[in-house]
C-alpha cells in the first residue's frame, strides 16, 4: 500500500483499489505522473488508509471483485456506497473484470460515474479520470449558487422548512435516503441563516476512526495521547458562532453520544486531556440515512440524544416521489454539463422521456446526475431513444416498487407497478423477478432476527426447514443458528 501521508503536491489525489498487485503496480507507475496515487487491496484497507489522510481523495479507481469474495461484486458495491458516504463529492470510476451489464448499471446506480471493463489502456483511464476531475470541479464551483430545484409540493415543503428553521439556534436532523441531497439541505440551512458570514464546518461520523471522533469534535491537550505533540481545538471550538454539520450521525460511537448530548443541552465540552470546561454555541445540523427509531430500539443510539437532535426534523423526499421534477432535474443537469463540456445537449425522444419519468431512480439525484453525465458524453447533440436510455438504467435493482398485497389493498396499485416494470424492463423474467423478491424478504428477515432461523421462519410464515432449503438454493448455506441475545436490563 502506498504511504498514507498526503504529499505536498498540486496533483489530484487518486485512490486505486484492486487485489491484483500487477494491476495496481502498473496503474501506479503510469498514473502517478499526473495523480498522487494511494493504493489499497481491500475494503478494510481502504477504511484504514482514508482515516490516515488529512483530506479525502478527489478520485477513486476501484475493482468490484475484492477480498474476501473476489469472484463476486458485493465488496466492490459496498465500497462504492462507503466512499460516497465518506465523501459525497468523490468521483468513482469502476475498472473490473466483472463487467456484465447488470453489474455496470448497478455500480452507476450506487454512485460510480463510469464503468470500464478490464483490460483497459492506461491512457484511456487517464482520460476518463481527468474528465471526472473536470466534472467534480465544475460541480464544486456550482455549489455556491445553492437552491433546491423542483416544483413538487414535497420540494416546496422542503424549501419552507429550510426557510423556517434556518435562523433558529436549535439542532436540525435531516433524514433521507442516500443520494437524495441531505448535504445540499444542510448547506442551505447555513447559507440562509444569520451565521452565513462565518464558515461552516462538517464532519462525517463514518469517515474517521471511532478513537479519533472525540479529539476531532472536542479538541485535545498536548500529551493527551500518543502523537498529540501540540494542543489543538476541535470542531465545536472552530464552529463557535457558526454551523457544525454532522453527517452520518447514526455512526457516532455510543460512548460519545452522552458527550454530544451535553454540548447540545448546555454548550459545555472538554478537550481530551483537560478538565477545564469550554463553551460552544455552534448550531448543530445532523443527517442520517438510517431509521433512527430502529437504531434506538436496537440499542445503538440514545433516545435522549435523538430527541435533542430532532428539535426540528427535515425529511428529504426520494426522487421516485417527485414526479415531473425528474424532468426539471434532467433539464438542469443536461444544460449544466453540456456547458461544462462545451458540447450541445442531447434530447430524449417521447418514448425515452416516458421511461425517464417512470424510472424509480433508486440512487436518487446522484444517480440521475451521473446518468446525465454519461448521456452527454455518449450522445452530445443527438436524440436519445428508449433503448439507448435503458442501457443506462439499473433495471436489475431490487429497488423496483412493487407494493405488497395487504388485506383489502386495491389490486390496481400492483397492476400499475407491474405494468411499469414490464414496459421498462427489456428482457423481463417472471421467475427471476419473483426469486429476487423472495430472497430479499428472506435476507431481510434474517437481518431483523440477527440470523435466528426459527424466528425468521416465523416472521416469513414458513417452516424452518423450508427457510433452510431456500437459503441453500441461494448458495449461502446458513451457519449454526444464532441464539438471540437477552435484552439489556
Verify cis geometry, omega within 30 degrees of 0, for the bond prior to 119: yes
Residue 113 has what pLDDT?
92
Per-residue model confidence as pLDDT tens digits over 149-177: 899 999 999 999 999 999 999 999 999 99
Cα–Cα distance between 358 and 339 in angstroms, integer?
27
List of residues 6+ apart from 298 with CB closer than 8 A: none
DSSP 396: T
Query: Closest by alpha carbon to 481, among 468, 463, 462?
Result: 468
Q: Is the pLDDT of residue 353 over 80?
A: yes
**What element of type H or E holds 384?**
strand 383-384
pLDDT tier at 71 (50, 70, 90 boundaries)?
confident
Give 201's strand partners. Answer: 244
Distance, in Å, from the CA atom of 32 to the CA atom of 48, rounded to the nearest integer, reads: 21
Radius of gyration over every alpha carbon of the chain, rounded to an integer in angstroms: 24
Span 174-228, pLDDT tens digits: 999 999 999 999 999 999 999 999 999 999 888 777 888 899 999 999 998 888 8
Q: How does the average pLDDT of the chain come out, rounded?
A: 86
Give per-residue pLDDT as tens, 399-450: 444 444 444 445 665 676 677 667 666 667 788 778 878 888 888 888 788 7
Question: Which of 453-458's residues contact partners 24+ apart within 8 Å by CB, and which partners?
Answer: 453/478, 453/481, 454/481, 455/484
Instruction: With residue 13 as reference, give the H or E element that holds it.
Output: strand 13-17
Least confident of 79-88, 315-324, 389-398: 389-398
Residue 195 to residue 187: CA distance in whole angstroms: 12
Distance CA 232, CA 218 (A): 9
Average pLDDT over every residue of 270-293: 94
How far is residue 109's CA from residue 177's CA, in Å, rounded to a whole number? 13
Residue 485's pLDDT band, with cuts at 50, 70 and 90, is very low
- For the chain, give the percent of residues with pLDDT over 90: 59
For the cut 60, the answer to whether the pLDDT of residue 37 exceeds it is yes
Looking at residue 2, what is its pLDDT? 43
Residue that wins the pLDDT comparison between 321 and 486 = 321
Give 275-337 as a DSSP string: ---EE--PEEEEEESS-HHHHHHTTSS-HHHHHHHTTEEEEPPPGGG-TTHHHHHHHHHHHHH
H or E element, residue 14: strand 13-17
Amino acid at each position: 500500500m502506498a504511504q498514507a501521508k498526503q504529499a505536498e503536491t498540486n496533483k489530484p489525489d487518486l485512490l486505486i483499489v484492486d487485489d491484483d498487485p500487477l494491476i495496481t503496480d502498473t496503474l501506479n507507475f503510469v498514473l502517478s505522473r499526473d495523480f498522487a496515487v494511494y493504493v489499497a487491496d481491500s475494503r478494510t484497507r481502504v477504511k484504514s488508509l482514508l482515516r490516515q489522510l488529512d483530506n479525502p481523495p478527489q478520485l477513486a479507481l476501484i475493482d468490484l471483485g475484492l477480498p474476501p469474495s473476489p469472484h463476486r461484486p458485493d465488496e466492490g458495491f459496498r465500497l462504492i456506497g462507503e466512499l460516497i458516504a465518506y465523501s459525497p463529492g468523490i468521483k468513482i470510476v469502476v475498472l473490473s473484470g466483472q463487467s456484465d451489464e447488470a453489474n455496470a448499471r448497478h455500480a452507476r446506480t450506487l454512485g460510480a460515474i463510469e464503468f470500464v471493463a478490464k483490460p483497459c489502456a492506461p491512457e484511456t483511464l487517464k482520460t476518463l479520470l481527468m474528465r471526472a476531475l473536470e466534472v467534480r470541479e465544475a460541480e464544486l464551483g456550482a455549489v455556491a449558487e445553492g437552491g433546491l430545484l423542483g416544483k413538487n409540493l414535497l420540494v416546496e415543503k422542503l424549501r419552507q422548512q429550510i426557510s423556517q428553521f434556518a435562523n433558529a439556534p436549535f439542532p436540525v436532523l435531516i433524514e433521507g435516503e442516500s443520494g437524495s441531497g441531505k448535504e445540499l439541505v444542510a448547506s442551505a440551512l447555513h447559507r440562509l441563516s444569520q451565521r452565513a458570514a462565518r464558515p461552516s464546518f462538517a464532519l462525517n461520523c463514518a469517515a474517521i476512526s471511532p478513537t479519533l471522533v472525540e479529539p476531532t469534535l472536542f479538541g485535545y491537550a498536548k500529551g493527551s495521547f500518543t502523537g498529540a505533540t501540540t494542543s489543538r481545538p476541535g470542531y465545536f471550538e472552530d464552529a463557535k458562532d457558526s454551523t457544525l454539520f454532522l453527517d452520518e450521525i447514526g455512526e457516532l460511537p455510543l460512548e460519545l453520544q452522552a458527550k454530544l448530548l451535553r454540548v447540545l443541552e448546555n454548550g459545555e465540552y472538554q478537550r481530551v486531556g483537560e478538565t477545564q470546561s469550554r463553551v460552544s454555541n455552534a448550531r448543530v445540523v445532523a443527517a442520517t440515512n438510517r431509521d433512527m427509531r430502529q437504531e434506538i430500539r436496537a440499542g445503538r443510539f440514545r433516545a435522549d440524544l435523538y430527541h435533542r437532535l430532532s428539535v426540528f426534523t427535515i425529511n428529504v423526499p426520494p426522487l421516485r416521489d417527485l414526479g415531473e421534477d425528474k424532468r426539471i432535474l434532467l433539464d438542469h443537469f443536461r444544460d449544466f454539463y453540456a456547458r461544462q463540456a462545451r458540447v450541445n445537449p442531447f434530447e430524449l425522444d417521447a418514448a425515452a422521456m416516458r421511461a425517464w419519468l417512470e424510472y424509480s431512480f433508486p440512487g436518487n439525484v446522484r444517480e440521475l446526475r451521473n446518468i446525465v453525465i454519461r448521456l452527454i458524453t455518449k450522445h452530445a447533440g443527438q436524440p436519445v431513444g428508449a433503448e439507448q436510455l435503458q442501457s443506462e438504467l439499473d433495471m436489475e435493482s431490487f429497488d423496483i416498487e412493487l407494493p405488497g398485497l395487504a388485506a383489502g389493498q386495491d389490486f390496481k396499485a400492483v397492476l400499475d407497478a407491474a405494468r411499469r416494470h414490464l414496459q421498462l424492463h427489456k428482457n423481463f423474467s417472471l421467475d427471476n423477478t419473483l426469486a429476487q423478491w423472495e430472497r430479499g424478504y428472506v435476507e431481510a428477515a434474517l437481518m431483523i432476527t440477527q440470523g435466528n432461523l426459527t424466528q425468521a421462519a416465523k416472521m416469513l410464515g414458513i417452516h424452518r426447514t423450508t427457510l433452510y432449503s431456500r437459503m441453500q438454493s441461494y448458495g449461502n448455506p446458513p451457519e449454526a443458528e444464532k441464539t438471540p441475545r437477552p435484552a439489556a436490563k
